[in-house]
Amino acid sequence: MADKASIAVVGTGWWATTAHIPALIEHPRVGKIILVDQNPEAARAAAVKYEIPLAHCYTTISEAKAAHPDLQGAIIATTHHAHYPAAKEALDAGLHLLLEKPMTIYAREAKALVDLAAARDLKILMGYTFPYLPTVAQAKHYIDDGLIGEIEYVACSMSSVTYDLLLGHPERFEPAGGYAVTGPTRETYSEPRVAGGGQGVLQITHLAAMMFHLSPGMRAETVTAFMNNLKAKVDVIDAMAVKMNTGALATVGSSGNLRPGDPGSVEVHLHGNRGRILVDGFTGEFFMHLHDGRQEHVPRHSPGYPAATPVDKFVSILLDGAIPLFPGAVDGLFTVELLEAAARSAALNGMPVQIADLYA
């Protein structure tokens, strides 16, 4: 195996230039960095900022792979609707993936990627971050050890400061020092044909993936949902009820209408037949109460955001053959199924949607 990883970043907008490219530059086990963006200006601006050779900029993955046969992996950080074609092109080129959320917009697309990766013996790591936090990892450890028993009910709630993005005003979301290089466009998170949805695909994707990560074997079967767009073209407020294949029931809700300064919540509260565990990725809070009376509590604090961790884990996959902690086949696919079914249900004024029908 190579000593250093050669990685392409596909989509060099806000998140890639804020999180992934800096993490690659800092990583001692990353060698060549290739930038791919359909907008050559975005790739060039990122190259200039991070002192990557301009000759390493391309507009398609195929061109990049043809010029650099040593490429091993691609980080897909395009706008949401482009995830599927970009990820497919990268898998076709024989590259392992670090794939940003949501995996795809449609379950059929996610399943096609899972099948293609399996057929080519390639790995897909989803770009989720919250499960790396110590309190979430602790919850996972306790649940895997059977402390709360069989999961019967999950209450998931996420509230965040995303309304301006969903309205198409990324300039109001800009950090004090400005975007690192290129910020999101007005369409990135507000235009359905680009974003593929609103708060669901942007934020609930984190929440639902955390739920599936913490509940091994659980997968949605039937979903009913209501959504409110407020003044946006995409959903801002979501309320979903879910029946799982295990018989467990879940509620999944979210609001994007918080104001700056409010840390919000990304809270998964799992109830089993032996006790319950609550974890919140934004505040770091952890609470466990078992039926035998045992309790543990980590109060709210500022756990930070592990933005660079996905790149580090991806490098281990490429160089050491590590197994993805959040594989596309579970955290990616199951989350897309839930979100697509919820969007379909909301369009039918809350009529239940079967996951199986997404594939009919």
Contact residues for ligand NAD (CB under 6 A)? 10-16, 36-39, 42, 77-80, 82, 85-86, 100-101, 127, 129, 184-185, 188, 202
- Nearer to ligand NAD by Cβ, of 179 and 287: the residue is 179
Nearest residue (CB) to ligand NAD, 6 versus 12:
12
What are the strands of the beta sheet with 5-10, ordered from one edge?
A: 57-58, 30-36, 5-10, 73-76, 96-99, 124-126
Looking at the Cβ atoms of 64 and 122, the one nearer to ligand NAD is: 64
Between 82 and 161, whose beta carbon lies closer to ligand NAD? Answer: 82
Q: How far is the CB of 177 from ligand NAD (least distance, A)?
A: 17
Select 100 or 285, whichever has its Cβ closest to ligand NAD: 100
Instruction: Quote the least distance from Cβ 334 to ligand NAD, whole Å.
Output: 18
Residue 215 CA to residue 36 CA, distance in Å, equals: 36
Q: What is the DSSP letter of 185?
A: P
| Interacting residues of 81 by C-beta distance below 8 A, sequence separation 6+ | 105, 193, 194, 195, 196
d(CA 191, CA 163): 13
What is the nearest approach in angstroms of ligand NAD to the Cβ of residue 310? 8
Residue 82: C-alpha distances to residues 162, 195, 274 (Å): 21, 9, 43
d(CA 358, CA 107): 7
Nearer to ligand NAD, 135 or 205 (CB): 205
Residue position matching structure tokens 């899972």: 114
Q: How far apart are CA 353 and CA 156, in angstroms?
A: 19
Closest residue to ligand NAD, judged by C-beta, is 13
CB 145, CB 137: distance < 8 Å: no
Q: How far is the CB of 293 from ligand NAD (least distance, A)?
A: 38
Q: For ligand NAD, which is the closer residue by CB, 272 or 328?
A: 328
Question: What tokens appear for 300 in the block?
Answer: 């709210």
Nearer Cβ to ligand NAD (136/148): 136
Q: How far is the CB of 360 from ligand NAD (least distance, A)?
A: 27
* Residue nearer to ligand NAD on the CB measure, 188 or 190: 188
From CA 282, how far away is CA 152, in angstroms rounded? 24
Pairing state of beta strands 96-99 and 73-76? Answer: parallel
Tokens of 239: 């309320």
DSSP string, 119-148: HHT--EEE---GGGSHHHHHHHHHHHTTTT
Q: Smallest distance from the beta carbon of 20 to ligand NAD, in angstroms?
A: 9
SS3 category, 151: strand
Least Å distance, CB 142 to ligand NAD, is 25
302 burial type by CB count under 10 A (0-12 exposed, 13-18 middle, 19+ buried)? exposed
As measured in angstroms, the least distance from the Cβ of 183 to ligand NAD is 6
Min separation Cβ 187 and ligand NAD, Å? 8
